[in-house]
Amino acid sequence: MSTPATDQYFPGLEGVIACETSICSLEGRGEGGLAFRGYSIEDLAESVSYMEAAYLLLHGELPNSGQLISFESRIKSARPVPEALIQLLHAIPPSVHPMDVLRTSVSVLAHYDPDNGAVSTDHAANVRKAERLIAQMATAVAYRERIERNQPLVPPRDDLDHAANFLNMINGGEPSETKRSAFDKSLVLYAEHELNASTFSGRVTVSTLSDIYSGIVSAVGTLKGPLHGGANEEAWKVLEQVGAPEHAEEWIASALARKERIMGFGHRVYKHGDPRARILKRYCTKIAAEIGDDRWERIAEPIEREVTQQKQLPPNVDWPSARLYHYLGLDIRLYTPIFAMARVAGWASHIIEQLDHNRLMRPRGQYIGAPPREIVPLAKRV
C-alpha cells in the first residue's frame, strides 16, 4: 500500500502530476511550449497535416511517405458507419445536444468494431480501434448535421483528405484550398493538449482496465461541459452579441466595467498566450480576405486588444476557432463535436499509453465534514 508524501490539497488538481507521458509537453520549444512527442506546435502547424499529426500521436513518430499512404488508406476505408447507427441518428430527437448524440454514436460504434473481443490491454488492437474512431466519429458528426438540416446524407469520398472530406460531407461541396488547409490546421491544433479534463477522464476510466471505447465515451461526456469544449461556442456568441464593428469598442468597455467574463480568453496553463490562438488567427485573416468580408475580424480585434491589455488575459484557441468555423459554413452546434473528432487522436493515444503502463487512478479527498460521532438511536433523535 502506497503512502502519500504529503496531505496537501490542490483545488481542481492544479499543478498535480498524475502520470508520466511521452505524448505531449506544455514546456517544449516554442512561444507557448506546446509540443507533440517533441515537435513544437508551431512547427507541426507549419509542416504537417492532421493525418500526419494523428499518426505521430498514435504511432510515436512522424510517418514516411509509405506509412502515411497506408495510414490514410486505412482511415478512408473505415469512414462508413454501420446502418444501425445511421438509423439511430435519424431517430434521436432534434432537441438532443450534439455532444450527447456523439457520445451515443461512439458507444454504438464499439459494438460493431471488428476488434470488439480483444482484451483492453491489446496494444495493436487498441491502435486499430483508434484509427477507426478517427474516421467514424467524423462521419457520425457530419451525418447528424445533415439530418439536423433535413438534407440528404453525403457519403464519404475516398479521393478527399480528412479535412476536405468532412467539409464536403457537411456542405455538399468541396472547400477551397484555403478553407481546406485552415480546417486541417485547426484539427492539428485541437488534436492533443496533455492532461486536460477530458483526456484525464479517459485515462481514469481505462485505468480500471475498461476498454478504449469506454474511455472515449468518458472523454466526450467531459468535453461537453462549457468550461472545456463549449468555450468556442460561447466565443462566437460574444461576436454575435456585438454584431457590428462600430459597436465593438463600446461593448467591450461596458463588459469590462461590469467585470463580465468573456469566453475565449485566458488559459489555466498558458499565462502569456496560447500559441494555437496566434496560429489560427492568421488563417482567420486569410479566409476573411478570400470571402471578401472582414467584419468579424474587425469586431474581434478591439475585444482581443482590450481584454489582453486590461485583464492580462490573451486569447486562447477558442477565440479564433469560433470565427474560423463560421467562415467555413459550420453551424455553432458543430463546434464542440469538431473539437472531439480532432481530439480523439490525442485521447486515444493517452488511453493506449495508460493501458500499456497501467496503474489504477485512485486519488484521495480531503475530508471537511462532521467530526467522529456516535449514532443516536432512532427513538431518541430530535
Q: CB atoms < 10 A from the CB of 367, how many?
A: 7
Query: Which residue among 267, 274, 326, 350 is the active-site one?
Result: 267
Query: Which residue among 162, 274, 318, 350 is the active-site one?
Result: 318
What domains, with CATH codes, occur in the chain? 24-175+195-226+341-356 (1.10.580.10), 231-327 (1.10.230.10)
Give the three-state DSSP class for 264. Answer: coil
Q: What is the pTM of this model?
A: 0.92
**267 has catalytic annotation:** yes
pLDDT of 261 over the 50 cut: yes
What is the number of alpha carbons within 13 Å of residue 242 lying toward its C-beta?
Answer: 27
pLDDT tens digits, residue range 201-257? 999 999 999 999 999 999 999 999 888 888 889 899 999 999 999 999 999 999 999
Return the residue matching grid coordinates 491544433.
189
Q: CB atoms < 10 A from the CB of 89, how many?
A: 22
List the helix and strand counts (H, then E) for the chain.
16, 3
Does residue 105 come out as left (phi exceeding 0), alpha (psi in the -120 to 50 range) or beta? alpha
pLDDT tens digits, residue range 175-199? 999 999 999 999 999 999 999 999 9
pLDDT of 275 over the 50 cut: yes
Q: Which DSSP helix (H) or strand (E) runs through 40?
A: strand 39-40
> Which pLDDT does position 15 carry in this prediction?
78
pLDDT of 32 over the 70 cut: no
d(CA 303, CA 307): 6
**318 has catalytic annotation:** yes
